[in-house]
Structure 1
Amino acid sequence: MDELRKRVIQGFFILVGLIFLIKLLFIQVLDDTYERAADNNAIRKVVQVPFRGEIYDRNKKLIVYNTPVYDLYITPRKARVQDTLRFCRIFDIRKRDFDSLTTIAKRFSKVRPSLFLRQLSKEDFARVQDALVDYPGFTFSTNARRTYQAPTMANALGYIGEISPERLENQEEEYYQQGDYIGVTGLEKQYEDVLRGQRGVKYMMVNSNGVEKGAYKNGALDINPVAGTNLISSVDLGVQELADSLMQNKVGSIVAIEPKTGEVIAMASAPTYDPFLLSGRNFSKYYRTLALNNLNPLLNRPPSAYYRPGSTFKIIQSLVGLQMGVITPNTIQGDGGSPMHCHGHSALNLRGAIMQSCNGYFYHTFKRMIYNNNEPNLFKKSAIGLRKWDELVAKFGIGQELGIDLPNEKRGKLPDVDYYNKVYKGQFTWKFSNFYSLSIGEGELIVSPLKMANVAAIIANRGWYIRPHLVKGIGTYGNIDPKYKEKISVGVAERHFNVVIDGMMDVVNHGTGTGAIVPGIQVCGKTGTSQNKKGKDSAIFICFAPKDDPKIAVAVFVENAGFGGSASAPIASLIIERYLTGKVEREAMKQKIIATSYEANVIPTGSPVRSRVDSLKIQMYKSLKDGIRNLDIFKGNYYPKKVDKPVPLVLLPGNPETKKQ
């Protein structure tokens, strides 16, 4: 009995031993789970950021490229700095910055390297690299910095910056890490997915303290980064540089479009800034200066600033009136019965009214359009007419997004029945006399310079347009979103454009736009004055050329400069000359425009509006480190995003200013 019990106990222990041996064999030989877990603990995955894609102009001239720069890293346990002040002088930093950066690095890890100084130039690197032998624990890593062929087109190109916590948290795919750079505004933001490239991965062996000991498996599993795709922009760099120079000492915009393709030839926003200064280690300091600048150089005005179109809108009124059948080219009208009068001319036909920019003619035309229905009640009649008018005008892109390949395009304002019902607190409480100032492009009608350049392109094409866009090739010419090849009709018969174009030709040859004459080239244009309660009115000119085979359409907005014929038309003429002939012969005229300043006319310092603008800018700077996204500020006018009533700076119906434009 004792012998049996002994064998049972021995058998039990043998069985348990066999189970452990089998399990150990399984763990060590058959199952690699624990091996992989151990590898994960001993291998560090290092993400390698690729070079961003470069940006070229339409002639393959380089605009934006990458320059190698150097990031300085510190490993606190190894770092030795005996003379801190000397170190600070060498690296051009303050003692308190040195202390704070060192403290941050120690909190991160005493044995792992962490970023100390970002983006030292190759000149800085050459200057300090010999000194590093005196400072163990500091090492350099190669990176890249956006570099610009010329300080031009800054607002449209945009800039890159360190990703914000908000964008890091809300990214759709886990691509970015803290400290990564990302497109913040302009083309850099719009084409971020294309420009950023594909990340690489390097696997490094590390010890228990996290110190790198070499490449894992001699780099067999490493993935090399793939550089971002290049962009071929539609911009002509020579024309763009001219546009930027002509807008010196001014506030406003120039937009030039190739009508047949919708390609943007030039897009200038003034004032602007040197894009190189927002691409380096002084980004925060320079960004703050720009963000608090009273003239708002960070705002890309062509797609984002708001203006009343003034008399340039009479071109749309003419075409809509012809399409609705309320006027013909031979319809003659004068100022009689109009609350908006002109300066001493007789009754005119449509061509003459365009040339003379006759307020009375377009008041009566607009009244005919609104009352072109059989409803006897004037209130209901006005609402019916406004709905039809809105539908036709909207096809020109007014009050709509055109869909340009830039972020932050603004819709503008095309007031409709719902808007006036809200303003006047109910249906059938308003009529034509409450909004007749829309007839000459004033009142609550709001556009951007981009929209009016597109209007000029529509007229040049005799009734259609292709969405404006700044990129004509992603990697190769023609490789773009198909929507930028689609023709969009505005619903006006082609025959109606002839008389309007003849009138625009007369504006340049004999009327208010003679400043736009280009020797040997027939320009067709229209002047406008955007009324402004603070300071001088803003000057507008839209045009296209040549008349019979249009190759360029231009809109020029100069804030607080007075009349479009004198301030904006000459600028447009030089843009046309440079693009169509490849040079500017009228050098004296060019230099005179460059030297002319209108900045002093912009809202006076200390005014209530200026204080409001400054306050909003400060709030914007504090809350947004990744660019201006929700700021609807522009010089001369300020429009909140939502209004219950027309804001004070809008010319209200019934209170028109009657200057001839």
Structure 2
Amino acid sequence: MALFNQSRSNIIRLIFVGVFLIIIVQLFNLQILSGKYKQLAMDNAVFPKVKYPDRGIIYDRKGRPILNNTIMFDLVVTPNEARKTDTFGLCEILSIDTAEYRKRMLEARFKNGPYRPSIFQGLLTPELHARLDENIWKFPGFALIERPVRVYPYNAGAHIMGYIGEADSSIIKRSGGYYRMGDYVGRSGIEAYYEQVLMGQRGVEYLIKDNKNRLVGSYENGIFDTAAIAGRNLRTYIDIDLQVLAEKLIRNKVGAVVAIDPKTGGILAMASGPTYDPNSLTGSNKQKNYGQLALDVAGPLLNRAIAGLYEPGSTFKPLGGLVALNEGVITPSYGYNCGGRYYGCGHGKPACTHSNPGHAANLRLAIANSCNSYFVQVYRNTVDNPKYGNVKKGYEKWKEYMNHFGLGERTGVDLVSEQAGLIPDTSRYNRVYRGSWNSCTNLTLGIGQDMMQTTPLQMANAMCIIANKGYYFTPHFVQKIDDENAEDTMMRQFRKKHEVLTNISDEAYEAIMSGMQQVVDGSASRAKVAGIEICGKTGTAEKYRVIQGRRIKLDDNSVFVCFAPRHDPKIALAVVVENSGFGNTWAAPIAGLMLERYLKDSIPAERMKEVDRIANANLMPSYIKYLQYVEDSARAFNWAERYKDSSQIKKFYRTNPSRPPFPTSREKRRTAMIVPDPRLFNKPFNA
């Protein structure tokens, strides 16, 4: 019996020892090996405050900041820590209802998980930030995070600078996880092209929280903190005074202005009309403002300088003449007996603006008088050159010249979304004309029309080639990246000199320049600047547009290209004003003012009247008003169909005073929405 009791006692002792050992092992596991509970404790007591870096600043050619930073705040939430927050109090401050609160919480969990901070409401107004700052302790799981926000001191350069937006899932995936939800990235313009330079590197600051969720100090004296590293700054060729002037002159117009320094390829100014205030896409109303811009059929978000496609019209003639000179099919003394129309193909087209004898007696006069017949014949001489055997081979050679001059190909400018334009190849003409075509089929290519399409940037770059007598640098904005090192390869492509057809003689370029100078001295007198020799060329390109299935003839585009001074070119320009008439009417005077501002560093007081005259002229095409009406009306009708409630349309009509009176019956309402009320326009199209 004693032996049994002793055995039972030993078993009990072994059980106690075993339990004790298990406890010791578990304690060792929890406190030493496992970081789970330590991490939970850290999450409860320590708040990792993300420190977003300042993006790099962008400066103009004189060192003035044209894109800078300011500070705003985001309200972020960690969903798993926000269970005991004062939901109603927060909703009251944010002016949202509980349904919206729940929706945002679900989005935060879905986007970034329950244990990581996500933006609950971004870019708070100063008033809202102040209210939240003094009450944030009431809302466990919520915190205020500083956010550097872009500001445009000159309210200019929207299409150049671009804008930043929150990184979406596709951007995060492409970055290999470098970006996180809540990070902002460049979405257009220089902001997007130089994102890797401008973005900087985020940091983190660990702060201790008390039992009321208040931040009370630094954790471990900040030894685990990492500093945010600011992005690098960009030094550009942009002249902000010239940029502001360009945007003022293109106001209330559709078109573009591009100015380039021929010696470097540096873009001095680039304006696209219509434009918008770049500061409207930086603050708390960014999404609302972006939505309004995106719905505007005039396309204020479109950078027409690099994505607008235009027939160059007569501004192309200097290039056509240069190619013919180099091919030996004409000489500077070559003349054409034009009586006001071209009859070489038997149909009397195209017509010319001059019919007086001798206006196309040589190349210089033909350029100065912009003789269509002359340059149509020059084009035909080039593509029908016997040494190529047939017109198709001759045309391919002509197209090769055009590509060398930068037409039909992207220039490679440091912006995203550049268009290549169009110089059609023989396969396109074979397809359109079933293989049966000749130089009469597309003779208007000789005067910059037919299927030819170019961007204003390409036109300005072509002027750089003529100004430099055969070379150019890829057009670009950025001259230098601060702290640039050997690893920066972004700028190398812009420092390479491109020689264009070295067999073209200086004499050929001089012959073209003489005609272009006479253009400004004569027909394009509104581009003149006292004391400066300007080489330029006007263009008046026909414009058609298909609107609701109808091909509508619109007013011609006003186009002008130039460079100056002739013997020491410092600036090349291209100006396009859509549907506004002759090149000398609007485009040439805009170019003249731009030249004067840049080359003389000021515009005299008496010339400021001309600036105001052009700036105050509203040349917006009436078809845009028509298309906006159709778009808005269709949207309103779709809303009504969706909600089955005419009050939706009534509200739409109340907030859009340009609409006709609200129709009473549904059928009349539908008809009124689809067919525009004539009271909206003096005429449907400016034809």
* TM-score, with length taken from structure 1: 0.81
Q: 1:160-175, aligned counterparts within 5 Å?
A: 160-169=164-173, 171-175=174-178
How far apart are residue 354 of structure 1 and its match? 0.4
Secondary structure at the aligned position of 1:434 is classed as coil
Which of 549, 552, 570 is 1:551 aligned to? 570
Task: Report whether the alignment pairs 1:356 with 2:356.
Answer: no
Corresponding residue number in structure 1 for 2:500: 490
Q: 1:619-630, aligned counterparts within 5 Å?
A: none
Kept after mapping to 2: 8 A contact 1:509/1:517: yes
Corresponding residue number in structure 1 for 2:530: 519
How far apart are residue 167 of structure 1 and its match? 2.2
User: Distance between the aligned counterparts of 1:293 and 1:444, measured in 2?
Assistant: 28
Alpha-carbon distance change, 317 to 613 in structure 1, aligned in 2, over 3 angstroms: farther
User: Distance between the aligned counterparts of 1:248 and 1:197, measured in 2?
Assistant: 35
User: Distance between the aligned counterparts of 2:213 and 2:133, measured in 1?
Assistant: 28
Corresponding residue number in structure 2 for 1:187: 190
How far apart are residue 530 of structure 1 and its match? 2.0
Secondary structure at the aligned position of 1:536 is classed as strand
User: Distance between the aligned counterparts of 2:321 and 2:565, measured in 1?
Assistant: 21
Corresponding residue number in structure 2 for 1:391: 400
- Name the Cα RMSD after superposition: 3.7
How far apart are residue 595 of structure 1 and its match? 1.2
Looking at both structures, which has the greater relative contact order when contacts are Cα pairs under 8 Å and sequence separation is at least 6? Answer: 1
Corresponding residue number in structure 2 for 1:528: 539
- Amino acid in structure 2 at the alignment position of 1:250: K
Corresponding residue number in structure 2 for 1:415: 424
Kept after mapping to 2: 8 A contact 1:257/1:454: yes
Corresponding residue number in structure 1 for 2:104: 104
Alpha-carbon distance change, 111 to 507 in structure 1, aligned in 2, over 3 angstroms: closer
How far apart are residue 179 of structure 1 and its match? 2.5
Corresponding residue number in structure 1 for 2:676: none
Kept after mapping to 2: 8 A contact 1:535/1:603: no
Please give the per-residue CA displacement for 1:548-598, whole angstroms capped at 9, x wherever unaligned. 111111111101111111110000011111111111111111111111121
Secondary structure at the aligned position of 1:120 is classed as coil
Q: 1:38-53, aligned counterparts within 5 Å?
A: 47-53=50-56
Q: 1:68-83, aligned counterparts within 5 Å?
A: 68-73=71-76, 76-80=82-86
- Structure 2 gaps, min length 5: 1-9, 545-552, 639-687
Alpha-carbon distance change, 315 to 225 in structure 1, aligned in 2, over 3 angstroms: same
Which of 601, 605, 617 is 1:596 aligned to? 617
Secondary structure at the aligned position of 1:455 is classed as helix
Corresponding residue number in structure 1 for 2:581: 562
User: Distance between the aligned counterparts of 1:602 and 1:361, measured in 2?
Assistant: 34
Corresponding residue number in structure 2 for 1:365: 378
Kept after mapping to 2: 8 A contact 1:352/1:503: yes
Task: Report whether the alignment pairs 1:34 with 2:33.
Answer: yes
Please give the per-residue CA displacement for 1:189-237, whole angstroms capped at 9, x wherever unaligned. 1111111101224457899999999866543233211011111121001
Corresponding residue number in structure 2 for 1:637: none
Task: Report whether the alignment pairs 1:287 with 2:290.
Answer: yes
Which of 467, 482, 499 is 1:460 aligned to? 467
Alpha-carbon distance change, 224 to 532 in structure 1, aligned in 2, over 3 angstroms: same
User: Distance between the aligned counterparts of 2:143 and 2:593, measured in 1?
Assistant: 52
- Amino acid in structure 2 at the alignment position of 1:475: D
User: Distance between the aligned counterparts of 1:192 and 1:404, measured in 2?
Assistant: 15
Kept after mapping to 2: 8 A contact 1:27/1:34: no
How far apart are residue 422 of structure 1 and its match? 2.4
Kept after mapping to 1: 8 A contact 2:136/2:143: no
Kept after mapping to 2: 8 A contact 1:43/1:205: no
Corresponding residue number in structure 2 for 1:432: 439
* TM-score, with length taken from structure 2: 0.78
User: Distance between the aligned counterparts of 1:112 and 1:268, measured in 2?
Assistant: 42
Task: Report whether the alignment pairs 1:310 with 2:319.
Answer: no
Task: Report whether the alignment pairs 1:197 with 2:216.
Answer: no
- Amino acid in structure 1 at the alignment position of 2:159: N
Please give the per-residue CA displacement for 1:329-373, whole angstroms capped at 9, x wherever unaligned. 011112363332322132420000000011111111111111112
- Amino acid in structure 2 at the alignment position of 1:53: G
Corresponding residue number in structure 1 for 2:670: none
Corresponding residue number in structure 2 for 1:503: 515
- Amino acid in structure 2 at the alignment position of 1:525: G
Secondary structure at the aligned position of 1:221 is classed as coil
Kept after mapping to 2: 8 A contact 1:536/1:601: no
User: Distance between the aligned counterparts of 1:108 and 1:296, measured in 2?
Assistant: 33
- Amino acid in structure 2 at the alignment position of 1:384: K
Kept after mapping to 2: 8 A contact 1:310/1:441: yes
Kept after mapping to 2: 8 A contact 1:43/1:203: no
Alpha-carbon distance change, 73 to 199 in structure 1, aligned in 2, over 3 angstroms: closer
Please give the per-residue CA displacement for 1:38-81, whole angstroms capped at 9, x wherever unaligned. 65565566653211111111111011111111223466434336
Kept after mapping to 1: 8 A contact 2:543/2:557: yes
Corresponding residue number in structure 1 for 2:147: 143
Secondary structure at the aligned position of 1:565 is classed as coil
- Amino acid in structure 2 at the alignment position of 1:458: I
- Amino acid in structure 2 at the alignment position of 1:579: Y
Kept after mapping to 1: 8 A contact 2:118/2:182: no
User: Distance between the aligned counterparts of 2:212 and 2:438, measured in 1?
Assistant: 79
User: Distance between the aligned counterparts of 1:614 and 1:434, measured in 2?
Assistant: 41
How far apart are residue 547 of structure 1 and its match? 1.2
Corresponding residue number in structure 1 for 2:236: 233
Tell me whether 255-264 or 337-346 shows the greater mean CA deviation.
Answer: 337-346
- Amino acid in structure 2 at the alignment position of 1:160: I
- Amino acid in structure 2 at the alignment position of 1:234: Y
Alpha-carbon distance change, 469 to 254 in structure 1, aligned in 2, over 3 angstroms: same
User: Distance between the aligned counterparts of 1:166 and 1:429, measured in 2?
Assistant: 48
Secondary structure at the aligned position of 1:564 is classed as coil
Corresponding residue number in structure 2 for 1:579: 598
How far apart are residue 260 of structure 1 and its match? 0.2
Kept after mapping to 1: 8 A contact 2:258/2:269: yes
User: Distance between the aligned counterparts of 1:166 and 1:198, measured in 2?
Assistant: 20
User: Distance between the aligned counterparts of 2:591 and 2:627, measured in 1?
Assistant: 33
- Amino acid in structure 1 at the alignment position of 2:351: H
Please give the per-residue CA displacement for 1:398-436, whole angstroms capped at 9, x wherever unaligned. 0011100000010000111122122234xx422222211
- Amino acid in structure 1 at the alignment position of 2:462: V
Corresponding residue number in structure 2 for 1:66: 69
Secondary structure at the aligned position of 2:144 is classed as strand
User: Distance between the aligned counterparts of 1:108 and 1:291, measured in 2?
Assistant: 27
Secondary structure at the aligned position of 1:504 is classed as helix
User: Distance between the aligned counterparts of 1:612 and 1:321, measured in 2?
Assistant: 50
Corresponding residue number in structure 1 for 2:356: 345
User: Distance between the aligned counterparts of 2:380 and 2:334, measured in 1?
Assistant: 14
Kept after mapping to 2: 8 A contact 1:69/1:119: yes
User: Distance between the aligned counterparts of 1:227 and 1:78, measured in 2?
Assistant: 36
Corresponding residue number in structure 2 for 1:470: 477
Alpha-carbon distance change, 59 to 176 in structure 1, aligned in 2, over 3 angstroms: same
- Structure 1 gaps, min length 5: 1-9, 619-661
User: Distance between the aligned counterparts of 2:388 and 2:188, measured in 1?
Assistant: 49
Q: Give % identity.
A: 37
Kept after mapping to 2: 8 A contact 1:68/1:121: no
Task: Report whether the alignment pairs 1:605 with 2:616.
Answer: no
Kept after mapping to 1: 8 A contact 2:167/2:182: yes
User: Distance between the aligned counterparts of 1:309 and 1:130, measured in 2?
Assistant: 57
Please give the per-residue CA displacement for 1:150-187, whole angstroms capped at 9, x wherever unaligned. 21110111001112233223x13321112221111101
Secondary structure at the aligned position of 2:248 is classed as helix
How far apart are residue 516 of structure 1 and its match? 0.2
- Amino acid in structure 1 at the alignment position of 2:83: R
Secondary structure at the aligned position of 1:537 is classed as strand
